[in-house]
């Protein structure tokens, strides 16, 4: 048996045309008419017969579902998502929810009406030697956008007590695009210094500036839309 948990989109709920320029929605009504209804479902596949059954775990408007990476592609109990503030009605991602797939209970934290959380990211809690962590014995990180100040914060919640709210809020001093994807890593390869961060930022800007050239076919072009001399300049020792 294969079990798959997924956020399912229902495009039939979209009644308006989705705009192609920013801002593509300036009111809740515009957002709800141009955005799909999303809910968390569990699909169970019988690999012998090919039969598939489905079960809606929650009808809450859900986005960016994640699990503890330690149980990724394995049996898990908890799914963390960003959720709208209007229950089953379509609304932008705002709060953080933890769904218990065993008993279908939900633990939710909702910020102020002008604050909006992005994707939840699971981070392990450092354990003492010999300790075994429970599936939810860690932290949930999310970038929260403040609509009043137009600046963002990194918030930290205990994964086993989401409704208690953030245990830490770290102002970033800038506005991070709402809905930006991310992940948490404690690996040494992400411990970059200021020089390395600046180099990678320059690479990202270079790639963005060449975005309209990606479909050009020239002998000195890479698949990234960068010329070979650009690759040497920005990738450096990674090549």
Residues 184-227 have pLDDT tens digits of 776 666 777 888 888 888 888 887 776 655 555 554 444 444 44
φ and ψ of 9, to 5 deg: -100, 140
The reported pLDDT for the residue numbered 57 is: 92
| Among 5-9, 27-31, 150-154, the least confident range | 27-31
> Mean pLDDT across the stretch 105-133?
89
- Which tokens belong to 6? 């997924």
- Whether residue 98 has pLDDT greater than 50: yes
- Whether residue 228 has pLDDT greater than 50: no
Please give the residue that has the higher pLDDT: either 176 or 80: 80
> Mean pLDDT across the stretch 175-179?
79
What's the CA gap between 119 and 154, in Å, rounded? 11
Q: Please state the three-class secondary structure of the chain as a single string.
A: CEEEEEEEEEHHHCCCCCCCCCCCCCCHHHHHHHCCEEEEEEEEECCCCCCEEEEEEECCCEEEEECCHHHCCCCCCEEEEEECCCCCCCCCCCEEEEEECCCCCEEEECCCCCEEECCCEEEECCCCCCCCCCCCCEEEEEEEEECCCCEEEEEEEECCCHHHCCCEEEECCCCCCCCCCCCCCCCHHHCCCHHHHHHHHHHHHHHHHCHHHCCCCCCCECCCCCEHHHHHHHHHHHC
Is residue 110 within 8 Å of 94, Cβ to Cβ? yes
> Mean pLDDT across the stretch 135-143?
93
Is residue 226 within 8 Å of 211, Cβ to Cβ? no
């Amino acid at each position: 048996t294969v079990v798959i948990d997924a956020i399912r989109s229902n495009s039939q709920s979209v009644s308006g045309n989705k705009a192609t320029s920013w801002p593509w929605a300036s009111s809740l009504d515009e957002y709800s008419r141009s955005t799909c209804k999303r809910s968390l479902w569990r699909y169970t596949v019988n690999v012998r017969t090919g039969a598939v059954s489905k079960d809606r775990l929650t009808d809450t408007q859900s986005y960016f579902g994640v699990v503890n990476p330690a149980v990724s592609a394995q049996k898990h109990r908890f799914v963390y998502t960003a959720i709208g503030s209007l229950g089953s009605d379509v609304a932008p991602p705002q709060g953080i929810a933890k769904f218990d797939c065993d008993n279908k209970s939900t633990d939710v934290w909702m910020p102020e009406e002008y604050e909006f959380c992005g994707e939840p990211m699971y981070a392990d809690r450092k354990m003492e030697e010999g300790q075994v962590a429970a599936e939810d014995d860690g932290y949930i990180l999310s970038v929260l956008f403040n609509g009043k100040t137009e600046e963002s914060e990194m918030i930290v919640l205990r994964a086993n007590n989401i409704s208690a709210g953030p245990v830490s809020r770290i102002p970033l001093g800038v506005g991070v695009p709402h809905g930006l994807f991310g992940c948490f890593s404690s690996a040494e390869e992400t411990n970059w210094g200021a020089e390395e961060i600046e180099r990678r930022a320059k690479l990202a800007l270079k790639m963005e500036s060449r975005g309209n050239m990606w479909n050009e076919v020239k002998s000195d072009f890479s698949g990234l839309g960068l010329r070979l001399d650009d690759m040497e300049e920005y990738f450096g020792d990674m090549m």
